[in-house]
Amino acid sequence: MGRRFGTDGIRGPVGSAVTVQLALALGRAVGHRLGGAGRSVVLGRDTRRSGEMLGAALAAGLTSTGTDAVDLGLVTTPCLVHASTDERHAAGIMVSASHNPAEDNGLKVVVRGRKADDATEDELERLIDDSSAIENQPNGALGRLGTDVDAVDAYRRHLRDVAGEAFAGLRLGIDCANGSASVIAPDLFRSAGADVTVLFDTPNGTNINDGCGSTHPERLAEAVSAAGLELGLAFDGDADRLIAVDERGELVDGDAVMGICALERLAAGTLRNNLLVATVMSNGGLERAVTQAGGRMIRTPVGDRHVFEAMERDDAVLGGEQSGHIIFRDRSTTGDGLLTGIELVRAMRAAGSPLSELAAQIGRLPQVVINSTVRRRDDWQQDSDFVAAIERATQQMGDRGRVLVRASGTEPKIRIMVEGDDAGEIERIARELATLAEARLN
């Protein structure tokens, strides 16, 4: 079969792409490859109903190899990643499909706070397909299943320390997406001194990301505007992303959040090498704002792994994606929606300005993004008619804009982005390409 690991671990519908058998096999593979006697792997999950089943299977697989499984229970992905940096743990596995619907779930392997590299994922793939090299341990050599509440408390303390006094008296709305943020965010921000209005914090196993969270922040925007709050923070299901809402109820996406934080750090002299790392999907207006303020921006392929690798290579401390997956490398090794919200509020306090004024400093070129559902997402470059249409559109735009097409790493979709000065032109080009993609790639 094809490679299971995508850009963000293994992800797909539960019962077909993601099964209890797969979780058991992955647990055994991770235990054999990374664990063993005297070693432990930390586990976490979001609020999907399937998370308990998959977590139990992972624990069974790990302990069968003699590896201890340490279950943190319901936590955010950044909390799991933070816990995995503890030298007592050989690795971590997060059970989550992030912003996907409840019917999906995923399995993400992290090692010392970093996503497993390609070589490790390839070895895990081989062990899943052929487990003959993995020995079953006798009773006395089996791993044990335990918990570690201190790991979750340590993560909370880390965020609380970063927040400092920035939230004192702040009137804040948060949307927990009926996901992992529900168990951490409300108490965290209240303990930091904010007056918090909470939406979508009653997960039932099937309502994660359902009309809420960072992919559907409309209700939060209405609540912020109606209640006269100073801003809103919308997280996705596992709280590694953030979309903000200003005091007028207007959305502030990941590009604007990165820009606000980059400009504040440039002014404070804390944007290392004056560098922001963003992906090819980030709006040209972000690059223009950072450059005009004396900074510079480099672009990477889509995916937080590419962003983080570039940040390490060029020694940058800030980078991320338009979707709101933002990394503060001097604070964390992964995108963290709660941390990003804290850094955004710190930037607001430093500037002494409302969020709407700060967001207005990050200009935005007209940009259209269409996600076309296709069966052959990975074969689009082999379709000569579709490739030719992209080339014609690129030539037509010239230096007035750009065209970007890529396959989603997590969904059966082709993502088509067109950016330029003429909103009508880019809308037409994007829709023509999307229509052709759906005709040619299904």
Q: Using one digit for the tens of pLDDT, what is the confidence trace for 9-42?
A: 999 999 999 999 999 999 999 999 999 999 999 9
Task: For residue 150, give Cα distances in angstroms to 82, 144, 182, 222.
Answer: 12, 18, 19, 37
Classify residue 125: in a domain, yes or no.
yes
Q: How far apart are CA 161 and CA 431, in angstroms?
A: 47
Same domain as 226, residue 289: yes
Task: Work out the average pLDDT over 241-253.
Answer: 98
pLDDT at residue 248 greater than cutoff 90: yes
Task: Look at residue 1 and tell me if it is in a domain.
Answer: no
d(Cα 113, Cα 78) in Å, to the nearest integer? 9
CA distances from 161 to 136, 179, 313 (A): 44, 24, 28
Q: What is the pTM of this model?
A: 0.90
Domain assignment present for residue 402? The answer is: yes
208 and 98: one domain?
no
The percent helix, strand, coil of the chain (3-state, each to 5) is 45, 25, 35
Domain boundary among 309, 328, 360: 360
The overall average pLDDT reported for the chain is 95
Q: CA–CA separation, 45 vs 18, rounded Å? A: 14
pLDDT value, residue 7 = 79
Together in a domain, 180 and 319: yes
The sign of the torsion formed by the CA atoms of 173, 368, 208, 152 equals negative
Separation CA 96–CA 11 (nearest Å): 8
pLDDT single digits (tens) 206-237: 999 999 999 999 999 999 999 999 999 999 99
| Whether 98 is catalytic | yes
Question: What does each C-alpha distance from 113 to 46, 90, 329, 435 come to in angstroms?
Answer: 18, 10, 11, 41
Amino acid at 442: N
- Across 95-119, average pLDDT: 95
- Find the helix packing angle between 118-129 and 20-34, rounded to 10°: 120
- The answer on 305 and 169 residing in a single domain is yes
pLDDT band for 281, please (50, 70, 90 cuts).
confident
If one counts every other C-beta atom within 10 angstroms of the C-beta of residue 202, the result is: 11
- Looking at the structure, tell me whether residues 53 and 114 fall in a common domain: yes
Q: Look at residue 199 in the predicted model and tell me its pLDDT.
A: 98
Both 142 and 68 in a single domain?
Answer: yes
Contact 80, 42 (CB under 8 A): yes
327/424 same-domain check = no
Domain of 88: which CATH number?
3.40.120.10
**Does residue 210 sit in the same domain as residue 310?**
yes
Dist CA 331 CA 318 (whole Å): 10
Q: Which of 96, 98, 180, 408 is catalytic?
A: 98
What pLDDT, in 10s, does the model give residues 372-424? Answer: 998 888 889 999 999 999 999 999 988 788 899 988 877 889 999 999 989 99
Q: Where are the alpha helices (DSSP H) in 36-76?
A: 50-64
Look at residues 147, 167, 200 and tell me which one is the last residue of a structural domain: 147
Q: Given this model, what pLDDT does residue 386 score?
A: 94
Cα(379)–Cα(394) distance, rounded to whole angstroms? 20
What number is the average pLDDT over the span 108-122?
A: 94
Into how many domains does the chain fold?
Answer: 3
Is pLDDT of 126 > 90?
yes
CATH code of residue 395: 3.30.310.50
Q: Which of 335, 360, 385 is the last residue of a domain?
A: 360
Residue 3 lies in a domain: no
Least confident span in 269-283, 314-328, 393-407? 393-407
Q: At residue 11, what is the residue type?
A: R
Establish if 434 belongs to a structural domain: yes
* Domain presence at residue 170: yes
**198 and 134 in a common domain:** no
pLDDT at 304: 86
Q: Is residue 5 assigned to a domain?
A: no
Q: Do 173 and 281 belong to one domain?
A: yes
Please tell me whether residues 373 and 340 are part of one structural domain. no
Q: CA 211, 184, 316 angle in degrees (round to 5)?
A: 90
Q: Are 26 and 128 in contact (CB under 8 A)?
A: yes
DSSP type of residue 74: E
Q: What residue type is 44 in one-letter code?
A: G
396 and 336 together in one domain: no
Is residue 162 within 8 A of residue 188, CB to CB? The reply is: no
Give the other-Cβ count within 10 Å of 114's Cβ.
17
Give the tokens for residue 365.
Answer: 């070129």
Range of the domain at 411: 367-440
Q: Which two tokens stand for residue 288?
A: 């223009």
pLDDT at 2: 66
The answer to whether 369 and 414 are in contact (CB under 8 A) is no
Asked if 389 contacts 432 with a C-beta cutoff of 8 angstroms, the reply is yes
**Contact partners, residue 245, CB within 8 Å, separation at least 6:** 173, 217, 220, 221, 224, 231, 232, 233, 234, 251, 252
Q: What is the DSSP letter of 105?
A: E
Which tokens in the block code for residue 199? 């939406």
Phi-psi region of 95 (alpha: psi -120 to 50; beta: other; left: phi over 0): beta
Q: Is residue 2 part of a domain?
A: no
In this predicted structure, what is the pLDDT of residue 183?
A: 96
Q: What is the average pLDDT across 175-193?
A: 98
Sequence length of the chain is 442
pLDDT recorded at residue 1 = 56
Q: Looking at 1-15, 80-94, 164-178, which range is the least confident one?
A: 1-15
Q: How far is 324 from 319, CA to CA, in rounded Å?
A: 10
